[in-house]
Structure 1
Amino acid sequence: MWRWTSPRISYLVGRLSQVKLSDGRCCYSQLLHPSLDLQSSQPQTNHLPKSYIGENVSRKDKTKFLLTTLHEINDSKEAVYGALDAWVAWEQNFPIGSLRQILCNLEKEQQWHRIVQVIKWMLSKGQGTTMGTYGQLIRALDMDHRVEEAHQFWQMKIGTDLHSVPWQLCHLMISVYYRNNMLEELVKLFKGLEAFDRKPRDKLIIDKVANAYEMLGLVTEKERVLEKYSHLFKEERPTKKRGRKSGVTKKKEKLEDSGESSSEEN
C-alpha cells in the first residue's frame, strides 16, 4: 500500500474513516466527491452503486476515470500529481499497464504537456524506468517545444551509456537535434556511437548526419560518412516468396499441360 503523503490522499483516508456502511466498505464516488454530506445521510443499501473502491471497480472504469480527470483538471503540477496520487492510493501494485494505456491515449490526442507531467510523476515514484518510457518523454518534450529539457534528460539518463542504447532511441535523439538545428550535439552523439563501433542500420540516420556535417562546413567528414555507410543506400530487390499452390491452381495447370500435349500430337 502506498504512503499517505498527499493532502488529497489524507483527505480520502479521513473520509473513509467517517463512512460506516453495513458491509464495511465505502462507495467510490462518495470518496471522490467531497460535496456529498456523508455524515448526515443514512446508508441505504438499495441506493448504493454497484462499483466499490478497490478490487470491485473494474480496471477499465478506473482508467477511464483518470483519463477524464486529466482532461478536466487544472494544468498545475500540484493538481496533476495530487490526482495521480489519489488514483493509485488504493492499489496494492503500481498500475503501470493502465498508465501506459492512458499515455497512449494522450499521445493520440497530442496532449504532450500532460504526457510529460504523467511520466515525470511515474519516474518520481521509481516506476516506468525503461527505454520506452524515456523515448516517449523525449518525444513529448520535443513536441511541447522543450528541446533543451529533452537534451538535459538525454545527457543525464541515457547519453552516458551509448554502448547499449537501442538504435531506435538514438535515431529519435538525432532527429530531435536535427529538427531543432542543434547540429553540434547531433555530430557529438554520432561520434560517440561510432566510438563504440555502433553501426547504424537506417540510411535516414546517415542522411541527417551527412547534412549536419555539410551545414557545419565539415565536408571531409561528410564524404567519409557517406563512403563508410554507402552499403545502406544500395537498393535490395525484394525476393518473391513461393507459397503452396492451391488445388484449383494445380488442376488448372494439369489441364493446360494436357492441352499443350494434345496440340503437339496433332
Structure 2
Amino acid sequence: MAGAFSLRLGPRIAGTPPPPASATKGEGRGGGRPTGSRALVSKKPNKEHHLWIRKDSAGSGKKALHLVNTVSKLPNEKEAVYGALDKWTAFEPEFPTIAAAKALEMLKRRRQWLRIIQVAKWLMSKGQVLTWTTYDTLLLALFMDGRIDEAESIWNNIIQTHTRSVPKRLFSRMILIYDTRHCPDKVLEIYADMEELGVHPDEDTTRRIGRAFVTLGQEDKEKIVLEKYLKKYKYMHFNGERVRVRRGGPLA
C-alpha cells in the first residue's frame, strides 16, 4: 500500500516544472530587474538663493593700513590728501567702505585728528553715508582739533536729518564737548532734545547734565535729574565678579 502511494506521487514530484520567470520576485516592478538592486536616482544640487550678498572684507585691513601710511606722509593740504584718496580707490570695483572705516579707527588710535577730519570729509564729498561710529569719531576729532563750530554744524545736520534714529552715544559726545568747553546752556539744549526723543542718558552724561543745572543756579532740577536717571543700585566688578552695590555704599 505504501509502495503504491509512493509510486503514484513520485513521478508527479519529480516532474514538477520550475516556476516561470514572471513569478519570481520583482515581477511588475522593473521587468526582470535583478533582486536586491536599487536604481540610482540623481538628485539636483540644493542651491540656496539669498536676497543679500555678503561683502567680502578680506584684505580690508591691508587696504586700511596702506591708506593710513599714505595720508600720514602727506602735507596738510586738502588737494594732496584728496588726490591720494582718489588714487586709493581708482582701481577698486566697488567703494572700499569697510577699509575706510578701519582706516579711521587706526587714525583714531594714533590720535591723528586732522587726518580723520580730512578722510571723513572726503567720504562725504563722495556721497558715502557715514556710520554712527564714523560720525562719533569725526565729532571727537573736531573737538580735539579745537573746531567746535564745525562739530556743532555737523551735529545740527545730524539731528535734523536723522531725528528719531540718533544713538545715545552721539548725544553723550556732544554733551561732553559742551561740558568740557564750559557751555552749560548748550548742555541743557542737548538734554532737552534727549527728553523730547525719549533717549535716557548714561551715568556720566547724567552727572554732566546735573552739573550744568548747578552752574546755572538750578540745584533743584539737578536733584530731579539724578533721582530720575541714577538708579539706587549699580553694577561693578569686585574680586573678579560682577556684583550689584548700592550707590553711596562702601564699595561704590
Range of TM-score over shorter length:
0.5 to 0.7
Aligned length: 182
The 2-side partners of 1:99 and 1:108 are apart by 14
The 1-side partners of 2:163 and 2:148 are apart by 20
Is 1:114 aligned to residue 115 of structure 2?
yes
The 1-side partners of 2:100 and 2:160 are apart by 26
Q: Structure with the greater relative contact order (CA < 8 A, sep ≥ 6): 1 or 2? A: 1
Larger radius of gyration: 2
Matched residues, percent identical? 35
Specify whether residues 219 and 61 from structure 1 end up closer, same or farther in structure 2 by C-alpha distance, changes over 3 A only: closer
- Correspondences of 1:1-266 after superposition (within 5 Å): 62-158=63-159, 161-200=162-201, 202-231=202-231, 233-236=232-235
Deviations along 1:131-156, whole A, 9 cap, x unmatched?
12111110111111111211111011
Report the residue type matching 1:234 in the other structure: Y
Q: What's the C-alpha RMSD, in Å, of the aligned pairs?
A: 2.4
The 2-side partners of 1:177 and 1:102 are apart by 27
Q: Aligned-pair distance for 1:234? A: 2.6
Structure 2, unaligned stretches of length 5 or more? 1-58, 243-252
Specify whether residues 161 and 88 from structure 1 end up closer, same or farther in structure 2 by C-alpha distance, changes over 3 A only: closer
Structure 1, unaligned stretches of length 5 or more? 1-57, 242-266
Q: Aligned-pair distance for 1:162? A: 4.2
Q: Report the TM-score, using the length of structure 2 for normalisation.
A: 0.65
The 1-side partners of 2:149 and 2:129 are apart by 22
Q: Is the 1:162–1:193 contact (alpha carbons within 8 Å) kept by the matching residues of 2?
A: no
Which structure is higher in strand share? 2
Q: Could you say which residue in structure 1 is the equivalent of 2:18?
A: none
Specify whether residues 65 and 238 from structure 1 end up closer, same or farther in structure 2 by C-alpha distance, changes over 3 A only: closer
SS of residue in 2 equivalent to 1:235: strand
Q: Report the TM-score, using the length of structure 1 for normalisation.
A: 0.62
SS of residue in 2 equivalent to 1:69: helix
Which structure is higher in helix share? 1
Q: Aligned-pair distance for 1:59? A: 5.5
